[in-house]
Amino acid sequence: MRILSFKLFFYFKLILYLCVLCVFFSCSTTVKQENENIRLALINNTRGESPYSGLGPKVRPVIKKINDDNPVFLAHLGGMVCGGSEWLGITKIDIERQYKEIYSHLSALLPIFYTVLGTSDLFNNSSDYYMKYSGKKEYYSFNYGDLHFIAIDSTGQQSMSGKQMEWIKKDLKESRNSQAVFVFIHNPLFIPVKFKSSGIEVCKDFNLLHKYFSQYHVKAVFSGSTSIYFKMEVDGILYINAGCGGYSVNDFNKGYYQYYIIDYKNDELTVLPRYVGIREK
């Protein structure tokens, strides 16, 4: 009888031990998560022809069409208003009127809205009105799932402040384990050879920024200071200037892109330029 009880006790302990092992291995096994996929839209230079005019006639239909494309968010890469300085005859009334008008149009936007500070968004070289109406700082970052996005201020006449540079490096370091990192900036860092004579102003700190981007494995950098579109790869990083224009042009056949749809899926990036009007591609 004692032998039988001992055997039962032994088998009970063995089963209990095996159960503990099963629980341990099931909890310790790393489950591979699926890649984040996202659709976003890019736009820029929606400002009017002058500080005294209204927005171009195509801003409202562009917003409607962006809604139809159903991106998660829209990033404006700068040039919401036609700013300047008081010595040029531009007043704060002109600046505030423009900001109110663009945000009145944007009230119909369905996706989340992010902004990047552009040179023409300044008044007296100050970003105060931009921050007031956008609700954004001059530079900031945000996450979508395991994807990380950074908005940078490149509007200064000199190099970026040491404060912003330190922030960029710290933010990139903290997000180094993200699935992918994307950067939004107004001025491009690089220009293709065929556009070298076009007068496009590059970011003054492009060398140092590219060093940081390479070190922390940035996937792509999106800029939008001009109406020219180009894409180039430098050291494995995609640099895309998502140029927009033609909002005040009534001739729909001019060939301007009004916005871009960016699809990121399975670590692949697709850029889809969009027209608004007769001509489509």
Q: Would you list the domain boundaries of the chain?
A: 38-274
Mean pLDDT of 225-236: 92
In three-state secondary structure terms, 30 is coil
Q: What is the pLDDT of residue 26?
A: 45
Q: What Å distances lie between residue 245 and 120, 138, 248, 251, 280, CA to CA?
A: 14, 23, 8, 12, 15
Helix, strand, or coil (residue 82):
coil
Tell me, what's the pLDDT at 19?
A: 52
State which fold the 38-274 domain adopts.
Purple Acid Phosphatase; chain A, domain 2 (3.60.21)
pLDDT at residue 11 is higher than 60: no
Amino acid at 181: V
Question: pTM for this structure?
Answer: 0.85
Mean pLDDT of the chain: 86
In tens, the pLDDT along 239-258 reads: 999 999 888 765 555 668 89
Residues 6+ apart with CB under 8 A from 175: 141, 143, 148, 150, 181, 216
